[in-house]
Structure 1
Amino acid sequence: MSVAESLSSLPPILTGGGAGDDSPYIFDSAWDRETERLRANEALWDQGTIERLNRLGVSPGWTCLEVGAGRGSIADWLGERVGTGGRVVAADLETAPLDWIDRPQVEVAKLDLRGDQLPSDTFDLIHARMVLQHLEDRDIAVTRMVRALKPGGVLFLEDTDSLTLFRSAVAEDFLKDVHTACYDVMARAGYEARGGQLDLEAALATELVDVSAEGRAVMVRGGTLQARMYVLWLEYLRPKLLAAGLLTEERVNEALAALDDPGHRWLSQVLISTYGRKPR
């Protein structure tokens, strides 16, 4: 069922297909491993995201679009906040992880920002976390989202800058070689390690006003669910790291053990939040 069929007052949200399984950023492990990755991502970033949504004043009756909804924790929170008089569209390339959400005001839609069209002047809030940093056509995606905002609506983007990852009191070079190797592999696939920085530039190039940005980082303890995010990331990249000769099998195993060690703490990437409001 399309968004238009389930929310008759909204025009169709999607007009194209998905990215397909050849996307370099889709984890190709078992489904339960992907669920674990999504849960770890929520554990790492949800608290700060919700604090910022509260600050933006999300209110009953709002119409919201959650782009790249993942497992749906933020979409569900938005659904609770906007109430039955509001609407939340939880959009992603893969929608099965969103099936657990049981709120009539939350609608699930398949969406690929790279090609699908959004309805104009529709949303009070559009939020996208760790989505644009994977897209080559960031500026086009931001323009589409701005067009979909109501006059006075807010765009809230969150993407990372990788510079701080693995900074630690353990040692000056704690996992520094792993950091360098992983981002080398990702850069070869088109990933931009300064993604959060570029969100701000993209927002400033649009009609948005009151554009601002801030960054936050999390201190991660080894062996926790937050740390599991980095374990799964390294395990996923392992074959590419070995094939490129950037790390040895022994070094990858050492790094995984360090990430699982509760005696280790390190800094996450900086997640940069960019905000802007569409003129009334």
Structure 2
Amino acid sequence: MSVVGGTAPEKAKGKEDDYLFDTEWDHEAERVRANEALWDEGTIERLDRLGVTTGWSCLEVGAGQGSIVRELAERVGPGGRVLAVDLSTRPLLPLARPPVEVAALDIRDDELPAEQFDLVHARMVLQHLKDPYAAVERMVRALRPGGLLFLEDTDALTLFRSAASEDFLKDVHTAAYTVMEQTDYCMRGGHIDHQAALRAGLEDVWAEGRAVMVQGGSDRARMYVLWLEYLRPRLLGQGLLTPERIDEAVRAMNDPDNHWLSQVLISTYGRKPA
């Protein structure tokens, strides 16, 4: 792990090749920002609940475009610390000023600073990993005694449930997750987070789920449009969907008359024994 500024690398050891989403895709930054628009409100509500405040030292794993990094920096103030880590740090570099530090890091292999953080948070990271249990162990080692681990990953079962019809985009759901699970992606990642927190010996472990209703054509819907467009070449290459069906699904996602349920994002919390 190398901390920015200075000459720190923008990528962690070139290990993005087996990650589902390519950070060099033309629309990847937009997809991540749309994902933040979908989930940030609920994450921020939970940071309120956890009492994250002035002077805390926080670690954001898989910091993306940095929306939660900015939220944490505002909360901890100049006397606190926020370390933002990701495979690619390019989008995070503009945030690299006190109290924010930025580091290129691969949570699959790289060790974190030991016993330095009051809070470690990761959202939609662990369900992409072959061994999420090992990653959680690294995060727990980074916590100070009494520190909080806050994990967020999804259960995809509810996605596209809709009043429109029983099978609204059901074939798209099945095809897309067939492709995603050919990588290390796990559709039940939020459940794995809970098990990993229990295995790691944390105290007061509990979990809850939230879902949001998405309106077609909205910023939230844009995330699903970009998700499908990113998967389009693989879906077509494997014959799982036709070009016409993908185009039809994109039109449905852009139609303001359509509303559908998101995945359930499961939040897991636990405290390192003091």
- TM-score above 0.5, yes or no: yes
Aligned twin of 1:23 = 19
Cα separation, partners in 2 of 1:27 and 1:236, compared to 1, 3 Å: farther
Deviation at 1:198, TM superposition (A): 0.7
In 1, Cα distance between equivalents of 2:238 and 2:179: 8
Q: Secondary structure at the match of 2:181?
A: helix
Q: Secondary structure at the match of 2:122?
A: strand
Which amino acid counterpart does residue 208 of structure 1 have in structure 2? L
Matched, 1:2 2:2: yes
Identity of aligned residues (%): 66
Which amino acid counterpart does residue 66 of structure 1 have in structure 2? E
Aligned twin of 1:59 = 53
In 2, Cα distance between equivalents of 1:47 and 1:195: 20
Aligned twin of 1:114 = 108
Matched, 1:135 2:134: no
Deviation at 1:206, TM superposition (A): 1.0
Q: Secondary structure at the match of 2:95?
A: coil
Aligned alpha-carbon RMSD (Å) = 1.8
In 2, Cα distance between equivalents of 1:115 and 1:102: 23
In 1, Cα distance between equivalents of 2:206 and 2:23: 32
Aligned twin of 2:254 = 260
- Find runs of 4+ consecutive structure 1 residues off by over 6 angstroms: none
Q: Deviations over 1:164-202 (max 9, x none)?
A: 000000111100000001001111223110000110011
Q: Secondary structure at the match of 1:211?
A: strand
Q: Secondary structure at the match of 2:266?
A: strand
In 1, Cα distance between equivalents of 2:67 and 2:20: 24
Q: Secondary structure at the match of 2:265?
A: strand
Cα separation, partners in 2 of 1:4 and 1:184, compared to 1, 3 Å: closer
Cα separation, partners in 2 of 1:5 and 1:151, compared to 1, 3 Å: farther
In 2, Cα distance between equivalents of 1:243 and 1:4: 40
Which amino acid counterpart does residue 45 of structure 1 have in structure 2? W
The answer to whether the 8 A contact 1:40-1:225 is kept is yes
The answer to whether the 8 A contact 1:242-1:248 is kept is yes
Q: Secondary structure at the match of 2:168?
A: coil
Which amino acid counterpart does residue 83 of structure 1 have in structure 2? G
My pick for the range that moved more, 95-104 or 164-173, is: 95-104
In 2, Cα distance between equivalents of 1:169 and 1:254: 18
In 1, Cα distance between equivalents of 2:114 and 2:172: 44
Cα separation, partners in 2 of 1:148 and 1:102, compared to 1, 3 Å: closer
Counterpart selection for 1:230 from 216, 224, 229: 224
TM-score by length of 1: 0.93
Q: Deviations over 1:129-153 (max 9, x none)?
A: 0000000111100001001100000
Matched, 1:72 2:66: yes
